[in-house]
Amino acid sequence: MKLFGKSGRKLHAFFGLLMLTLLIAACGNGGTTTPGSGTTSTAPVNGKGCTKVGVLLPESASSDRWESKDHPLLVQDITAAIPGVQIDYSNAQGDASVQLTQAEADLTKGDCILVVGAHDSAAAAAIVTQAKAKNVPVIAYDRLIQSKDLNYYVSFDNVKVGQLQGQYIADHYQKFVSTGHNNLVMINGAQTDNNALLFAKGAHSVLDPLIANNTFKKVYEQFTPNWDNATAQTEMEAALTAQQSNVQIAYVANDGMANNVIAALKAKKLNGHVIVTGQDATVTGIHNILAGDQSMTVYKAISKEAQAVGDLVKALNAGSDTSSMTNGNVTATSDGGSIPSVLETPVAVDITNIATTVIADGYVAKADVCQGLAAGTGGVC
């Protein structure tokens, strides 16, 4: 008895060909089938086609830049880069474990590019590991993440930042020191932040030769956990007590800590008589320079940093080459990585160029930095 006639064999061959075609299509599109649904969805790989971006910043207590500058600028530039993008924004508020949880939540929600300003450069490697497992690229923003699997690093030349701070001291110390009165205090940022290590490295490259030839005497140096401003004040008070207020130079890593260092100096009526450095060109920092209490700050045009992220996100979304953006620049990680990097140039700012830098660029408003100061102060107000 024949089970199939000629027409039956043709029908059997047709269905076989149909199944083979469907199988090839399923294999070729790289998609994943949702159990029970019979449908196939394609998740973005390495950011191509991505329209959900997670932005994670480290804190807001040590410097107002994170919420007043970085947050809105990143949202603006990523939105411009990918029309219709969904941005999941989080701030870890100084807690590395919270930041990891926030990143995990973003990955669970399907975010396919992460922009991470790490609270802890080493701990954030766990974020990169989890993202890599989902083919999600990570852009380390402002602070390097110590992982060879990191995709990109966008920041400033942070050794240069420290060199600018140290060079300012080297160029201006003569007005503040004299024989027996040449003591230097160094208050660094958080040791868990790779940037703080780079700032200190840059500053030491300038200051160490002057310490070695006894131009300065370094009497105190401390890294400040979490960049905590109040802790910086306690550190300065300890140094002043130990030296019986005989301090002429205060290298301070950023404006937030510098403001509290100035408070400690004011209590001893030493404000204006001690070189005080800073960083971030905050409204408070610029105001303190105009008031004569802080000597300098370092201006980092965050708009350029955020725009670089926007450019990278746009290229990742399009699956485009990014080599022209990094220009061959790489940054080494502690585990042997070599990370393609976009590094912007920082600028030293003191009372002589406030008007032509941060005010001219609209980074700070003259009305804000001059609040409470007499008209004509510093040639700015």
* High-pLDDT (> 90) share of the chain, %: 87
Is residue 235 over pLDDT 90?
yes
Confidence grade of residue 43 (pLDDT, cut at 50, 70, 90) = confident
Lowest mean pLDDT among 4-13, 174-183, 238-247, 315-324: 4-13
Q: Round the average pLDDT of the chain to a whole number and report it.
A: 91
Say if residue 318's pLDDT is above 80. yes
What's the pLDDT at 63? 87
pLDDT for the residue 30: 37
Helices (H), 82-193: 96-108, 125-133, 158-172
What CA–CA distance (Å, rounded) separates 92 from 235?
Answer: 25
pLDDT band (50, 70, 90) for residue 42: low
- Read off the pTM: 0.83
- Segment 39-66 mean pLDDT: 86
pLDDT one-digit tens code per residue, 126-138:
999 999 999 999 9
What domains are there in the chain, each with its CATH number?
52-156+301-344 (3.40.50.2300), 158-300+348-379 (3.40.50.2300)
End-to-end Cα spacing for the chain: 105
Is residue 93 pLDDT above 50, yes or no?
yes
Residues 184 and 217 sit within 8 Å (Cβ to Cβ)? yes
Helix runs in the chain, H state only: 6-28, 65, 71-81, 96-108, 125-133, 158-172, 194-212, 229-242, 255-267, 283-291, 302-318, 323-326, 366-369
Q: Is the pLDDT of residue 313 over 60?
A: yes
